[in-house]
Amino acid sequence: MKVSVILPAYNEKEGILSLIDAIHNELSSYDHEILVVDDNSPDGTYNTVLNAGLPYTRTILRREDRGLAKSIRCGLENTDGNVFVVMDSDFNHQPKYIPFMIQSLNYYECVTASRFLYGGKMNSRARHLLSWIFNIFVRFTTGGWITDNLYGYFAIRRENMEKLNYDDIFWGYGDYCIRLLYYLQNEKANILQVPAVNGDRRHGQGNSSFVRLFIQYTAATLKLTFKERIIKKCTKG
C-alpha cells in the first residue's frame, strides 16, 4: 500500500511545513507521499515547501483555472499511490485520524470524517448548528445518508475514485464534496463515517464568507438533484 496525501493550499506558508511534519509522523509505518497543490499563493507557500527539500513531499504550482476542487483533482491525477487521503492545509483536519482511516480501508472502499457523529464536533456552536441543519437539507434533497457532506476529509481507494467522472465532481469550492459523496452513494460504494473533532487553524485566516458559501452550497445541491432527475427521466423515456 502506498498512501498519497493531497493538500490543496492557498496562503498557508506559515503552517504548511508543520502540517507536513505531523502527517509524515502519522504515516511513518506506511510508504507515503505528500502532494501540496498550491494555487499560486502570493505568500510564497509553493517555494516554502519546495525549498524545504523533503524527500516524501512533492509540490505542484497552479497558475491558471484555480480553485479548491480543481486543485484536488490536479492532486488526484498526479499521484501514484493506491490510497488517496484528501485534507485541508490549515489543521482544521487533524492528522491524528489518518492511520485509522487508512486501516479501515481494509474493510471499506471510502472512509469519510464527520463532525456530526457522536464524538465529533466544531468549536463554534453557531457554525456547528448551521452546518448540521444544512447537512440535513442535503440528505433530504439528495436522498443520501452521509451525515457530513461538506467536511472534505476522506480516504479512498484509487480504484473506487477512478470509477467516477471527475468532470461531474471537481469544480466550484467545497460543494465538490457534496457531489463526490452523492456519486459514491449512487455507485453503492461501501462508505464508513468516522467522528472527527474539527481542529483549530494555527496560522492566518480563512478565505471564505460563511454566508456566501451557504448560498453557493445550497445552489449546488439543488442543481445536482435537478440534473439527476432530468437524466433519470430521459433514461426512462
Q: So what's the pLDDT on residue 55?
A: 96
Report pLDDT digits (tens) over 87-129. Answer: 999 999 999 999 999 999 999 999 999 999 999 999 888 889 9
pLDDT of 124 reads 86
152 vs 19: CA distance, rounded Å: 17
Delimit the domains of the chain by residue range: 2-236
Rounded Cα distance, 189 and 169, in Å: 16
The parts of the chain modelled with pLDDT lower than 50 are none
> Which pTM value belongs to this model?
0.92
Cα separations in angstroms, 188 against 145, 179, 185: 12, 14, 5
Class of CATH domain 2-236: alpha beta
Task: For residue 199, give the 3-state DSSP assignment.
Answer: coil
What does the DSSP 8-state code read for residue 197?
A: B
